[in-house]
Amino acid sequence: MKLKLPLFFCLFLLMQNAKSQTHPIELHPNNRVASLQMTPTEYSNWKANDQFNNAAVRQALFQDIYVKFQDHFDFIFLILNEDTRPSNLASGQLMKVSNNVTGIGMSTYNDCASYGSAGKLKAVMHLARRDYLRAGPSLHELMHNWGNFCLQTESVSSYGTGLTSFAYQPHWGFTGGSNKGQLGGFQQSTLVANGGGSYSVGTFGLNANGGNSVPYTQFELYLMGMIPLSGVNNFDVFRGITSYSSDGTTDTFQATTRTTYTSASLQTLLGTRNPSSTTSQKNFKLLVICLTDTPLTAAQWSLLDDYSEKFGRTASDGSSTYNFWEATNGLGTMETGNLQNSLNALGVATNEFTEDIRVYPIPAKNYITIETKNNIDIHELAVYNLLGQKINNFTVQQNDNKIEINMGDCPKGIYHLNIKKEDGQLFVKKIIIE
Ligand SMILES: [Zn+2]
């Protein structure tokens, strides 16, 4: 068996807690984004088979993430390390985890335990391209945490006449709003009634309006808990669509049903939102994780860090797209930073080694031996002190399936030895130098 030496030491793990972690998770030094590295096989399977939609696989991955991070996050976004969206995958997906808000058409539920959260996690998101946090559909998917589960909306599949419309929750379809909505719909102020059930509005999308290029509507902000119902101007929902056309600046459609919603009729339909906009949560915490099968390049790290900062900034992000703070008209915040404060406390790593890897002696004076069998291939070794700082001032010697590391220059104390196998699996062993 051939061991790959010399070993190289990269920034891959800062710390571990007492539970075994199966994926290496790195934190960018600015503490606004992390990466989670899958094996090439796992990553290609994740993409090819849309494993975010596989509850067991998805939940196991989040359980692993919570080995590294504390239960501080309302939302966790997984972003694929892809230049282009894999064609079989949706741009974005949101899976709801828990909800305790009533009066917005949603039941209450709590599936936190399945994900490894002690109760804080509200939803998890999957974005299929590296830049989708900035470009969207990040704001759109987030909106699905609250809507639309309250209004009966309809859509059509194409332009034309003699169309049949169909139920289209959770998107707005032919629904007006204070502006074009994150979940689709037109700007109410552009509505013109042509008579005979025909209506014209400014061009719009049935399920989205250009990713993060539009802010949330008043009604979307109400559902989120940002403003009271009295702050929502009247708007219309059209159903029974029988024709739909666009000339590029105006969309025209024929509808059999027009329902005008007022704050009073919404109150009757939905009941009172609890908690109200006075007491609702408006400041959220987000963990952004890039899924990858290769260590992120400096350029990829830099882009993800930049976009995470801009998405979480409580000021304009300086571009035409909206970040969360801008999209909520400055009423809500989505903190993406300070991830270092959410790492699990350093505990004693107690991962049980397989019979295939042995580390001895413990305690040791100088040399520690890592012995492998059954063709286990060690890819990387790194030693960290209890502050999470990497120690690399030891020398390595190779002897078949044994690696010796010289810890003689290290101060006496407890260290964590991280052993990464060729397939990406990671083991952590507590070692003692006396
Ligand atoms: Zn959607």
Q: What are the tens digits of pLDDT across the range 375-408?
A: 677 777 888 766 667 777 555 555 567 788 888 8
Q: Distance from the CA of 93 to the center of ligand 1, in angstroms? A: 7
Q: Which amino acid, residue 83?
A: D
Q: Distance from the CA of 405 to the center of ligand 1, in angstroms? A: 52
pLDDT at 352: 40
Q: Helix (H, G, I), strand (E, B), or coil: what is residue 201?
A: strand
Q: Distance from the CA of 183 to the center of ligand 1, in angstroms? A: 6
**How far is CA 277 from each of CA 3, 122, 390, rounded to the nearest angstrom?**
60, 18, 46
Q: Distance from the CA of 224 to the center of ligand 1, in angstroms? A: 15
Closest of 62, 343, 389, 408 to residue 418, by C-alpha: 389
Q: Distance from the CA of 155 to the center of ligand 1, in angstroms? A: 13
Q: Helix (H, G, I), strand (E, B), or coil: what is residue 213?
A: helix
Residue 177 φ/ψ, nearest 5 degrees: -155, 170
Domain limits, the chain: 25-145+280-342, 154-261, 357-433
Integer Cα distance of 414 and 347 in angstroms: 11
**If 0-12 CB within 10 Å is exposed, 13-18 middle and 19+ buried, where does residue 73 land?**
buried
Q: Distance from the CA of 142 to the center of ligand 1, in angstroms? A: 9
How far, in whole angstroms, is CA 292 from its chain's centroid? 14
Q: What is the pLDDT of residues 5-23, one digit of tens each?
A: 333 332 233 333 345 568 9
Q: Distance from the CA of 168 to the center of ligand 1, in angstroms? A: 10
Q: Distance from the CA of 129 to the center of ligand 1, in angstroms? A: 16
Q: Distance from the CA of 321 to the center of ligand 1, in angstroms? A: 18
Q: Distance from the CA of 171 to the center of ligand 1, in angstroms? A: 6
Q: Distance from the CA of 365 to the center of ligand 1, in angstroms? A: 59
When pLDDT is cut at 50, 70 and 90, the band that residue 429 belongs to is: confident
Run of H or E including 396 = strand 396-399
Q: Distance from the CA of 172 to the center of ligand 1, in angstroms? A: 9
Q: What is the pLDDT of residues 329-357, one digit of tens each?
A: 999 999 999 999 999 865 333 344 455 77
Average of per-residue pLDDT across 37-54: 97
Q: Distance from the CA of 68 to the center of ligand 1, in angstroms? A: 30
Residue 86 clears pLDDT 50, i.e. is over it = yes
Q: Which of 153-167, 289-303, 309-323, 414-428 has the lowest mean pLDDT?
A: 414-428
Q: What is the pLDDT of residues 133-191, one digit of tens each?
A: 999 999 999 999 999 999 999 999 999 999 999 999 999 999 999 999 999 999 999 99
DSSP state of 14: S
Integer Cα distance of 238 and 320 in angstroms: 30
Q: Distance from the CA of 148 to the center of ligand 1, in angstroms? A: 9
Q: Distance from the CA of 338 to the center of ligand 1, in angstroms? A: 29
What is the residue-wise DSSP string for 289-306?
Answer: EEEESSPPPHHHHHHHHH
Q: Distance from the CA of 91 to the center of ligand 1, in angstroms? A: 9
Integer Cα distance of 408 and 386 in angstroms: 17
Q: Distance from the CA of 143 to the center of ligand 1, in angstroms? A: 8
Average of per-residue pLDDT across 193-213: 97
Q: Distance from the CA of 167 to the center of ligand 1, in angstroms? A: 14
pLDDT at 136: 95
CATH number for the domain running over 357-433: 2.60.40.1220
Q: Distance from the CA of 311 to the center of ligand 1, in angstroms? A: 19
Q: Distance from the CA of 125 to the center of ligand 1, in angstroms? A: 11
- Whole-model pTM: value is 0.77
Tokens of 195: 């008579």
Integer Cα distance of 224 and 282 in angstroms: 8
Tokens of 166: 């169909």
Integer Cα distance of 195 and 53 in angstroms: 45
Q: What is the mean pLDDT of the chain?
A: 89
Q: Helix (H, G, I), strand (E, B), or coil: what is residue 199?
A: strand
When pLDDT is cut at 50, 70 and 90, the band that residue 365 belongs to is: confident
Q: Distance from the CA of 208 to the center of ligand 1, in angstroms? A: 7
pLDDT at 388: 65
